[in-house]
Amino acid sequence: MTSNDITSTLGSFELVDEAISKESDKSAYNWQPTHWLKFPVPENYDLSTPPWIRPEQVPLSFVGINVVDVENSKILPSMTVKLKNGKIESISKSVASHMQEKGWESINGQGLFLSPGLIDVHTHFTASPGQPNGQLVPSSETQTALAATHVLKGMLWRGFTTVRDVGGANRHYKNATEQWLIPGPRIFQGGPVMSQTGGHGDDGADSDKPITGCCSSNGTGRDSVVVDGVEECTRAARKMMRAGADHIKICSSGGVASPTDKLDSEQFTVAEIKAICDVVRMMVTAHCFTSPAARNAIEGGIGGIEHGHLLDEDTLKLMAKKNIHLTPTLIVQELLSKPPYESMIPIQSREKLKLVINGGYKVIKKAHELGVNIGFGTDCFNSMQNVQLSEFDLRKKVLNDDVILKQATINGAKILGMQGKIGIIQEGAFADLLLLSANPLEDVSIFNEPHKFVKGIVKDGRVVRSELRDLRVEVPLV
Ligand SMILES: [Zn+2]
Ligand SMILES: [Zn+2]
């Protein structure tokens, strides 16, 4: 059966399609929450279920579509992929009868490519745009949460079906997108960043240290917690576990935006880092630019390095050997080096910035050659959120397209402990998918032209964006 055979049979199925559409109109697509109830209320009225919980997705199938096999860097042509109850139910070679199966809303996927949804493992979605001069300005917890609903919709609109927040978010955001209270990506969160006094995440509440940007704090004390000594580190880590953290993030070296902690400063002692890792026994990842600081963190037992732009070859070899993940963040550094964003960091930080920009490209290339698991991270905060997809273009300067797509899918899943569940198209995985009009294995920069190449976005089996006539949007991102 060729794709042409399927085309020639499509016309005769229009009536069946219509019938199926009418059937499914009763469910998810036309669902409305209950906003009205009359007294007296029925005795068996459900008081416990959140009223925003949606009915099960309409079973959906893409027929004749080209599946992007990210793991093997190849295309599986003319496949039928069925989505039910938020998962990928089956993947098989397409036959014409797949367009008329009862109970399924079947979409003709000919000429389209089906890619796993993207994963950004270094985001700060509570650092919202629209603040004076683009700076991080302390705002109330309520204002932060409300503004985050805008940022999260934007991330999903750009194709990121999963994000890891590394400083500021909590389990309430995760629950909100999981329940579709607000549309947004699947969220992994670690609560506030842990920093030593005077470290990258110390917001200077009791000193004259200015408020800093990336990975640290907005001056409210919510995005970072300052701890010193094994005892305080242990207690803070346990509190984060109690709060439901998916991971812990620490600052083990200085940062770019913060003027008083030197980039090459080593933050936290090995004993402190070890105490944190021993207590939580989950993924601990470290904001860290330099090799000595990374070695301290690795000795202490961390599982990931954020940025890492100045790491030397020996440290990268050690990371490959010990399966320590690396998440470089090229776009944030490039943005901060040019107008309009350069005003966000102090003038004395600009030299540091040059160093980490140049280092970032070298490290990402070398780390890939040495076999380090590299995640796709952007670190965009505040008014940078909309530039998130440009990380693809920057990585393309030094890496092949298929390698970058792996980083933004299956490598990210490894970092999150979600192998086989996200970042991949296989039976049983979550139905987080992108419909594209071009092959991303040949050119990943198509993701950064969403109006041109992204024809549909599905998360949890629910369509959130569509440019296809027959693919109906269940949850609009407005
Ligand atoms: Zn950082
Ligand atoms: Zn960061």
Looking at residue 8, its pLDDT comes to 42
Query: How remote is the CA of residue 60 from the centroid of ligand 1, in Å?
Result: 40
User: pLDDT confidence of 335, banded at 50, 70, 90?
Assistant: very high
Query: How remote is the CA of residue 271 from the centroid of ligand 2, in Å?
Result: 24
Radius of gyration of the chain (CA): 23
Do 274 and 404 fall within a single domain? yes
Mean pLDDT of 229-251: 97
Q: Which residue range forms the structural domain that includes residue 165?
A: 118-415
Query: How remote is the CA of residue 33 from the centroid of ligand 2, in Å?
Result: 37
Over the stretch 274-310, which tens digit does the pLDDT of each residue have?
Answer: 999 999 999 999 999 999 999 999 999 999 999 999 9
Q: Where does residue 402 rank: exposed (0-12), middle (13-18), buried (19+ CB within 10 A)? A: middle
Query: How remote is the CA of residue 240 from the centroid of ligand 2, in Å?
Result: 18
Name the percent of the chain in helix, strand, coil, to the closest 5.
Answer: 35, 20, 45
Contact 165, 184 (CB under 8 A): no
Query: How remote is the CA of residue 121 from the centroid of ligand 2, in Å?
Result: 10
Contact 181, 253 (CB under 8 A): no
Looking at residue 217, its pLDDT comes to 52
Query: How remote is the CA of residue 216 from the centroid of ligand 1, in Å?
Result: 7
- Residue 82 CA to residue 69 CA, distance in Å, equals 16
Higher-pLDDT residue of 230, 25 = 230
Looking at residue 205, its pLDDT comes to 52
474 lies in some domain = no
Beta bridge partners of 436: 113, 454
- Residue 112 CA to residue 454 CA, distance in Å, equals 10
Degrees, nearest 5: CA angle 186-190-192 = 130
Among 132-141, 308-317, 459-468, the minimum mean pLDDT is found in 132-141
Over the stretch 47-63, which tens digit does the pLDDT of each residue have?
Answer: 999 999 999 999 999 99
471 lies in some domain = no
Look-up: residue for tokens 């944030």? Answer: 332
Query: How remote is the CA of residue 296 from the centroid of ligand 1, in Å?
Result: 17
Nearest to 186, CA basis, from 470, 461, 472: 461
Do 335 and 322 fall within a single domain? yes
Looking at residue 26, its pLDDT comes to 57
Query: How remote is the CA of residue 407 from the centroid of ligand 2, in Å?
Result: 18
475, two tokens: 């949850």
Is the per-residue pLDDT at 219 higher than 90?
no
- Residue 219 CA to residue 233 CA, distance in Å, equals 20
User: pLDDT confidence of 220, banded at 50, 70, 90?
Assistant: low
Q: What CATH number is associated with residue 167?
A: 3.20.20.140
Looking at residue 204, its pLDDT comes to 67
Q: Who surrounds ion ligand 2 at CB < 5 A?
A: 214-215, 379
Query: How remote is the CA of residue 345 from the centroid of ligand 2, in Å?
Result: 14
Q: How many domains does the chain have?
A: 2
Query: How remote is the CA of residue 414 from the centroid of ligand 2, in Å?
Result: 19
Mean pLDDT of 196-207: 76
How many residues comprise the chain?
478
Query: How remote is the CA of residue 329 from the centroid of ligand 2, in Å?
Result: 8
- Residue 237 CA to residue 240 CA, distance in Å, equals 5
Nearest to 65, CA basis, from 475, 463, 455, 474: 455
| Contacting residues for 428 by C-beta, under 8 A, at least 6 apart | 87, 88, 420, 421
Of the ligands numbered here, which is closest to the C-alpha atom of 127?
2
157 lies in some domain = yes
Mean pLDDT of 232-242: 96
Query: How remote is the CA of residue 349 from the centroid of ligand 2, in Å?
Result: 16
Over the stretch 375-394, which tens digit does the pLDDT of each residue have?
Answer: 999 999 999 999 999 999 99
Among candidate residues 415, 433, 452, the one where a domain is terminated:
415
Do 159 and 55 fall within a single domain? no
Of the ligands numbered here, which is closest to the C-alpha atom of 165?
2
Higher-pLDDT residue of 68, 13 = 68
Mean pLDDT of 84-100: 97
- Residue 308 CA to residue 478 CA, distance in Å, equals 36
- Residue 136 CA to residue 132 CA, distance in Å, equals 8
Query: How remote is the CA of residue 381 from the centroid of ligand 2, in Å?
Result: 8
Is the per-residue pLDDT at 6 higher than 90?
no
221, two tokens: 């004390």
Do 86 and 146 fall within a single domain? no
Do 250 and 380 fall within a single domain? yes
Do 130 and 87 fall within a single domain? no
Is the per-residue pLDDT at 137 higher than 80?
no
- Residue 364 CA to residue 370 CA, distance in Å, equals 10
Query: How remote is the CA of residue 75 from the centroid of ligand 1, in Å?
Result: 36
Contact 85, 461 (CB under 8 A): yes
Is the per-residue pLDDT at 22 higher than 70?
no
Query: How remote is the CA of residue 163 from the centroid of ligand 1, in Å?
Result: 16
Query: How remote is the CA of residue 143 from the centroid of ligand 1, in Å?
Result: 24
Query: How remote is the CA of residue 377 from the centroid of ligand 2, in Å?
Result: 9
Neighbour tally for 200: CB within 10 Å: 30
Of the ligands numbered here, which is closest to the C-alpha atom of 261?
1
Looking at residue 12, its pLDDT comes to 38
476 lies in some domain = no
Query: How remote is the CA of residue 71 from the centroid of ligand 1, in Å?
Result: 29
89, two tokens: 């139910």
267, two tokens: 């933050």
- Residue 417 CA to residue 294 CA, distance in Å, equals 21
Among candidate residues 415, 437, 455, the one where a domain is terminated:
415
Do 195 and 339 fall within a single domain? yes
Query: How remote is the CA of residue 477 from the centroid of ligand 1, in Å?
Result: 29
Query: How remote is the CA of residue 443 from the centroid of ligand 1, in Å?
Result: 28
Query: How remote is the CA of residue 8 from the centroid of ligand 1, in Å?
Result: 54
317 lies in some domain = yes
User: pLDDT confidence of 215, banded at 50, 70, 90?
Assistant: low
- By percentage, how much of the chain surpasses pLDDT 90? 79
Looking at residue 212, its pLDDT comes to 47
User: pLDDT confidence of 77, banded at 50, 70, 90?
Assistant: very high
Among 40-49, 91-100, 216-225, 391-400, the minimum mean pLDDT is found in 216-225
Query: How remote is the CA of residue 289 from the centroid of ligand 1, in Å?
Result: 8
Query: How remote is the CA of residue 214 from the centroid of ligand 2, in Å?
Result: 4
Query: How remote is the CA of residue 154 from the centroid of ligand 1, in Å?
Result: 22
475 lies in some domain = no
Among candidate residues 388, 415, 442, the one where a domain is terminated:
415
223 lies in some domain = yes
Q: What CATH number is associated with residue 452?
A: 2.30.40.10
Do 181 and 160 fall within a single domain? yes
Of the ligands numbered here, which is closest to the C-alpha atom of 257?
1
Strands (E), 400-445: 433-436
Contact 459, 161 (CB under 8 A): yes
Query: How remote is the CA of residue 218 from the centroid of ligand 1, in Å?
Result: 13
Is the per-residue pLDDT at 236 higher than 50?
yes
Do 242 and 349 fall within a single domain? yes
Helix, coil or strand: residue 277 = helix
Query: How remote is the CA of residue 165 from the centroid of ligand 2, in Å?
Result: 9
| Contacting residues for 129 by C-beta, under 8 A, at least 6 apart | 147, 150, 151, 382, 383, 385, 386
Of the ligands numbered here, which is closest to the C-alpha atom of 254?
1
Query: How remote is the CA of residue 108 from the centroid of ligand 2, in Å?
Result: 41
Over the stretch 393-449, which tens digit does the pLDDT of each residue have?
Answer: 999 999 999 999 999 999 999 999 999 999 999 999 999 999 999 999 999 999 999
Contact 317, 369 (CB under 8 A): no
Is the per-residue pLDDT at 25 higher than 70?
no
Query: How remote is the CA of residue 396 from the centroid of ligand 1, in Å?
Result: 22
User: pLDDT confidence of 223, banded at 50, 70, 90?
Assistant: confident
Average per-residue pLDDT for the chain: 91
Looking at residue 352, its pLDDT comes to 86
Do 439 and 409 fall within a single domain? no
Do 265 and 222 fall within a single domain? yes
472 lies in some domain = no
Do 353 and 380 fall within a single domain? yes
Nearest to 433, CA basis, from 179, 122, 79, 25: 79
Query: How remote is the CA of residue 4 from the centroid of ligand 1, in Å?
Result: 51
